[in-house]
A and B are shown apart, each in its own frame.
Chain A
């Protein structure tokens, strides 16, 4: 068969070449379309952030760069000049927190202080502390009411603030598929907000409902942003990550009391070093009637409730 008969040749281009060109064009177009989501991705995540390592794998120099970048981003996004540090555990310290259910009046001052201290979203009035109004005679936290709004203490009720119990055996850490949350040497369970993928497994695993998910970018007026921040603590969290109480580690690792304790008007809260036999927290645990929330789950909390 001669070539003239088999392959139509228009203007020097064979059908084979034309089909190849068409295929290549369509393929390139499909590839370009498939890559479109990346364009919107780069608007929210910078290259530096995308390539950032896990907190525990960063060298001090890398971490330093990250902290400065986060400060810059906070200034750009919130108009607030902040100071983000990397607060590390104090050797020989394991924190414990005790709360006196006999004197708590349910005023929610602790939750309010947490809201301000930890740069929570103003629109949801979020806080790491949920104060539960409970029927006297019951210790079932699942029946507690967190949304009461009447003069307190109401007759026949008692109040149980619930926040992260900083378990020694934390179920939330076990379920994290990317190790974005872990237990530090001083017993505080922390989250690397830049490593969290937002799967919310930890939120489901926590028996104390202590974890919160950022459904949207937190809204905080520039003048209300708390500028004293730490990487694992109260720096403004991005959208789509989980956060939790960190015992105000940006304060407590400097020797200060957590914000919720300072706000408590009744002195129901006792904080200190469990390893120091002379500490107030040890006196409470040794001399008061102590109750551990959902003790039967074996989570071994570092948060204790007690009665006078």
Chain B
């Protein structure tokens, strides 16, 4: 190689290196410019998320006695305590409708379509619920049972659009506590009852109550 051509190669290599560096800088600056404002929020998503706790009413799946243990938890009697020898297991005939209950559960108000007891309660294992396909479900997982018919509500629930909640909208900053279906709806009479509202505003212009 001559001295001149060597010089040329040197120049070409230098120009190439400079070009690559410039290109990298350019691409980087474009990338940072086009980064949307959402990036921060999405970053938050990638962080460790706090949990969403679904609370079921204390003592669910037991007969409530009104008593409390030392920790303040309600003391309930397991359904199987009586149902071991009553209903499907015992010699007493199985009762399927609330209006036929004359001996026990007589205060039960039932307004939930044409369902019968064993639509939801497992006829053999009274400490469990059952799905329409016969699968046993624990009382704590009652939402699975409700969702069989109330799919629209369950879908809304899954997206935070049904059911009361407390806590954080941003799970990267704190947890959230949600009610389960039976926290608000009485499964035997699920329609939301009428109630008296909180007092109206005492505004000077709104004292013309109809």
Contacts and interface: CB of A to CB of B under 8 A. Distances in A.
Interface of A: 90-93, 98, 100, 103, 105-109, 111-112, 123-127, 130-131, 145-153, 252, 254-257, 261-262, 264-267, 270-273, 275-278, 280, 283-284, 287-288, 308
A126 to B, nearest CB: 6
Nearest to B183: A265
A148 B37 CA distance: 44
B4 interface: no
B161 interface: yes
B164 A276 contact: no
Interface in B118-177: 152, 156-157, 159-170, 172-174
10 contacts: A125-B199, A148-B200, A255-B170, A256-B174, A266-B164, A267-B163, A267-B179, A270-B161, A273-B41, A308-B156
Contact of A276 (B38, B168, B195, B197): B38
Interface in B173-192: 173-174, 179, 184, 192
A90 B170 CA distance: 11
B161 A255 contact: no
The 4 A-B residue pairs with the shortest CB-CB distance, nearest first, are: A255-B173, A92-B40, A280-B160, A255-B170
A151 B42 CA distance: 44
B206 interface: yes
A149 B37 contact: no
B113 interface: no
Contacts of B207: 147
- DSSP class of B's interface residues: helix, strand, loop or mixed? loop
A109 B165 contact: no
Contact of B210 (A103, A145, A272): A145
Contact of B165 (A147, A254, A262, A284): A262
Nearest to B159: A283
Contacts of B164: 262, 264-267
B38 A255 contact: no
B24 interface: no
B169 A252 contact: yes
Given A107-B197, A148-B200, A262-B164, 4 more contacts: A123-B202, A124-B203, A146-B201, A264-B164
B174 to A, nearest CB: 6
B9 interface: no
Nearest to A122: B202
B159 A92 contact: no
B209 interface: yes
Given A146-B206, A280-B159, A284-B159, A151 B198 contact: no
B34 interface: no
B169 A256 contact: yes
B74 to A, nearest CB: 21
Contacts of B172: 255
B27 interface: no
A115 to B, nearest CB: 8
Contact of A105 (B37, B174, B195): B195
B70 interface: no
Contact of A111 (B45, B160, B196, B198): B198
A147 B167 CA distance: 30
A125 B202 contact: yes
Nearest to A106: B197
Interface in B46-90: none
Contact of B169 (A147, A255, A275): A255
B195 A127 contact: no
